[in-house]
C-alpha cells in the first residue's frame, strides 16, 4: 500500500460512518426522485383516461354545438375560445399594468419608496383566487361593467372573469419583469445618462431593449397562469354544466378549467352519461400540454437574460 492510499483510507473515516453517510444520502435522493415520480403519475393518469375518451368519442365529435359533457356534446372549441378570451382579457390588464409597475419600481422609485410599495403589490399575489372570483362577481361585474355596458348585462360574464384573472396576474408580470430590468447592468444606464439621455429615453431605449427576453418571459408565464386559473372563472363566468359555443365576452361562458370544476361539483361525484368523467381528463391533458409548452418557452427566454449578464 502506498502512502497515498493510506492517507485516503484514513481520511475516509471508519466504515460504519461511511455507510451511515451513504444511507442518508440515499434518503435525500429518494425525496428528490419523488418529484419525478409525481410528474410520471400526472402524465400517466391524464393519458390513461384521456385515451379512453378519445378512442370512444373520436375527433369528429369534438366539434359540436357546445360543451355539455353530461349530455354527450363535447365541443372542445367552446372551451378553447372561452379560455383564450379570458386569458386575452387578463393579459390586456396585467401586461401594461404589470410593466408599468415594474418599470416604476426598477427605474424611478427611490429605494425607500420601493421597500414600501413592492410588498404592497406582492400582497395582491397572496390573495386566494376564490376571493378574486367573488370580487369579480359581486363588484367588477355589477358595479364597474354594468354602468358601461348597460343594465341588461348578464351578471355572470367572461369579461368580468377575465378582468379578475388579470388582476391576479399583475404581480406575476411585475415581479418577473422587474427582476429582468434590475439585471441590466448599471453601466448601461450610466453610459446613457452620460450621453445626455433623460430617464425616460434611458428606460425605453436602453434598459427595456436590454431586458426584452425577461419581459417576454413574464408575459408568457402570466399567459400560462391565466390559462390555468380556475376559480375566478368558475365563480364569475357562470355556465355550470355546459355552454353553447360563444365568442361573446359579455355573456356567460366556460373555460377549460371552469369546465373541469363544474363537472366535478353538482353532486358528490363526477357523474354523467357516456364519457363525462373521461372528458375531464381529456381537457386536463390539453391544458397540461399547453401550459407545459408555454413554461418551457418562458424558461428559454429567462435563460437568455441570465446568460447575457
- Rounded to a whole number of angstroms, the minimum distance from the CB of residue 75 to another protein is 20
Q: Which is nearer to another protein, 28 or 59 (CB)?
A: 28
Q: Is 76 in the site for another protein (CB under 8 A)?
A: no
Q: From CA 85, how far away is CA 121, in angstroms rounded?
A: 25
Q: Which is nearer to another protein, 60 or 307 (CB)?
A: 307
Stretch near another protein under the rule CB under 8 A, chosen from 40-48, 58-66, 186-194, 246-254: 40-48
In the region spanning residues 84 to 113, those forming contacts with another protein, defined by CB under 8 A, are 96-97, 99-101, 103-105, 108
Stretch near another protein under the rule CB under 8 A, chosen from 53-61, 79-87, 179-187, 284-292: 284-292
- Beta-carbon contacts of 276 under 8 Å, excluding residues fewer than 6 positions away, are 69, 70, 263, 270
Q: From CA 250, how far away is CA 257, in angstroms rounded?
A: 19
Q: From CA 141, how far away is CA 131, in angstroms rounded?
A: 14
Q: Where are the alpha helices (DSSP H) in 58-185?
A: 76-103, 111-125, 129-135, 146-149, 158-182
Q: Residues 17-36: x/- map of binding to another protein (CB under 8 A)? A: x--xx--xx-xxxxxxxxxx
Spatial contact of 153 and 171, defined as CB atoms under 8 Å apart:
no
Angle of the 76-103 helix axis to the 256-264 helix axis, nearest 10? 120
Q: Which is nearer to another protein, 57 or 263 (CB)?
A: 263
* Backbone torsion region of residue 75, taken as left when φ is above 0, otherwise alpha when ψ lies between -120 and 50, otherwise beta: beta
- Beta-carbon contacts of 154 under 8 Å, excluding residues fewer than 6 positions away, are 238, 250, 251, 252
Residue from 228, 249, 251, 272 touching another protein (CB under 8 A): that is 228
Stretch near another protein under the rule CB under 8 A, chosen from 1-9, 63-71, 72-80, 225-233: 225-233
Q: Which is nearer to another protein, 158 or 221 (CB)?
A: 221
Stretch near another protein under the rule CB under 8 A, chosen from 53-61, 62-70, 74-82, 137-145: 137-145
C-alpha cell at 173: 408580470
Q: Residues 166-195: x/- map of binding to another protein (CB under 8 A)? A: -x--xx--x---------------------
Stretch near another protein under the rule CB under 8 A, chosen from 38-46, 76-84, 175-183, 207-215: 38-46
Q: Which is nearer to another protein, 108 or 309 (CB)?
A: 108
Q: Could you give the angle at the alpha carbon of 261 between the alpha carbons of 255 and 263, nearest 5°? A: 100
C-alpha cell at 135: 370580487
Q: Is 308 in the site for another protein (CB under 8 A)?
A: no
Spatial contact of 287 and 257, defined as CB atoms under 8 Å apart:
yes
Q: From CA 127, how far away is CA 130, in angstroms rounded?
A: 8
Q: Which is nearer to another protein, 139 or 309 (CB)?
A: 139
- How many residues sit close enough to another protein to count as binding (CB under 8 A)? 90
Q: Is 131 in the site for another protein (CB under 8 A)?
A: yes
SS3 state of residue 73: strand
In the region spanning residues 249 to 268, those forming contacts with another protein, defined by CB under 8 A, are 257, 260-261, 264-265, 268
Q: Which is nearer to another protein, 14 or 60 (CB)?
A: 14
Q: Is 149 in the site for another protein (CB under 8 A)?
A: no
Q: Is 305 in the site for another protein (CB under 8 A)?
A: no
- Rounded to a whole number of angstroms, the minimum distance from the CB of residue 48 to another protein is 7
Q: What is the largest CA-CA distance in the chain?
A: 93
How many angstroms separate the Cα of 121 from the Cα of each of 103, 159, 161?
A: 13, 23, 20
Amino acid at each position: 500500500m502506498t502512502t497515498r492510499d493510506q492517507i485516503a483510507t484514513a481520511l475516509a473515516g471508519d466504515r460504519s460512518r461511511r455507510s451511515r453517510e451513504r444511507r442518508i444520502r440515499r434518503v435525500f435522493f429518494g425525496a428528490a426522485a419523488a418529484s419525478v415520480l409525481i410528474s410520471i403519475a400526472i402524465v400517466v393518469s391524464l393519458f390513461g383516461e384521456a385515451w379512453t375518451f378519445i378512442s370512444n368519442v373520436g375527433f369528429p365529435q369534438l366539434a359540436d354545438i357546445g360543451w355539455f359533457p353530461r349530455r354527450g356534446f363535447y365541443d372542445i372549441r367552446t372551451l378553447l375560445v372561452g379560455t383564450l378570451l379570458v386569458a386575452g382579457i387578463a393579459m390586456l390588464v396585467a401586461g401594461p399594468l404589470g410593466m408599468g409597475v415594474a418599470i416604476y419600481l426598477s427605474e424611478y422609485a427611490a429605494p425607500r419608496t420601493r421597500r414600501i410599495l413592492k410588498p404592497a403589490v406582492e400582497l395582491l399575489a397572496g390573495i386566494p383566487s376564490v376571493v378574486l372570483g367573488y370580487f369579480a362577481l359581486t363588484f367588477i361585474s355589477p358595479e364597474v361593467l354594468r354602468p358601461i355596458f348597460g343594465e341588461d348585462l348578464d351578471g355572470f360574464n367572461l369579461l368580468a372573469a377575465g378582468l379578475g384573472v388579470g388582476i391576479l396576474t399583475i404581480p406575476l408580470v411585475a415581479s418577473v419583469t422587474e427582476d429582468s430590468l434590475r439585471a441590466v447592468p448599471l453601466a448601461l444606464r450610466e453610459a446613457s445618462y452620460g450621453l445626455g439621455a433623460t430617464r425616460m429615453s434611458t428606460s425605453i431605449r436602453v434598459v427595456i431593449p436590454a431586458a426584452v427576453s425577461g419581459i417576454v418571459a413574464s408575459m408568457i408565464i402570466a399567459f400560462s397562469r391565466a390559462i390555468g386559473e380556475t376559480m375566478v372563472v368558475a365563480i364569475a363566468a357562470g355556465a355550470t354544466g355546459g355552454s353553447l359555443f360563444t365568442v361573446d365576452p359579455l355573456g356567460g361562458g366556460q373555460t377549460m378549467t371552469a369546465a373541469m370544476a363544474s363537472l366535478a361539483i353538482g353532486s358528490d361525484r363526477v357523474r354523467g352519461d357516456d364519457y363525462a368523467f373521461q372528458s375531464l381528463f381529456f381537457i386536463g391533458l390539453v391544458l397540461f400540454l399547453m401550459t407545459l409548452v408555454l413554461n418551457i418557452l418562458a424558461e428559454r427566454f429567462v435563460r437568455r437574460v441570465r446568460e447575457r449578464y
